[in-house]
Amino acid sequence: MFKKSFIITGLFLLVSLTSFAQEWAEEVKAESASGILSSSFVQSGASSLSLFDDLSLQVRLIDPSLPAKGIKRSPAKAPSLSIFDHTLYFATSCDGCILRLINEDGDVEYAIEIPENTSTITLPFYLYGEYELQILRGNYCFFGFVEL
Burial of residue 76, with CB atoms counted within 10 A of its CB: 0-12 exposed, 13-18 middle, 19 or more buried: middle
Give the model's pLDDT for residue 132: 96
The neighbour count for residue 147, using CB atoms within 10 Å, is: 9
Q: Which of 81, 103, 104 is nearest to 91 (CA)?
A: 81
The model's pLDDT over 51-102, given as tens digits with 9 standing for 90+, comes to: 567 888 999 988 877 766 665 667 778 899 999 989 999 998 899 999 999 9
CB contact at 8 A, 142 and 134: yes
Give the model's pLDDT for residue 62: 86
Give the model's pLDDT for residue 103: 95
CB contact at 8 A, 112 and 121: yes
The model's pLDDT over 99-119, given as tens digits with 9 standing for 90+, comes to: 999 999 999 999 999 999 999
**Would you place residue 130 in the very low, low, confident or very high pLDDT band (cuts 50, 70, 90)?**
very high
Please state, for a pLDDT cut of 90, what percent of the chain lies above it: 41
Give the model's pLDDT for residue 68: 64
Q: Which of 83, 74, 72, 76 is nearest to 58 (CA)?
A: 76
**Would you place residue 124 in the very low, low, confident or very high pLDDT band (cuts 50, 70, 90)?**
very high
Q: Reduced to 3 states, what is the DSSP secondary structure of residue 109? A: strand
**Would you place residue 16 in the very low, low, confident or very high pLDDT band (cuts 50, 70, 90)?**
low
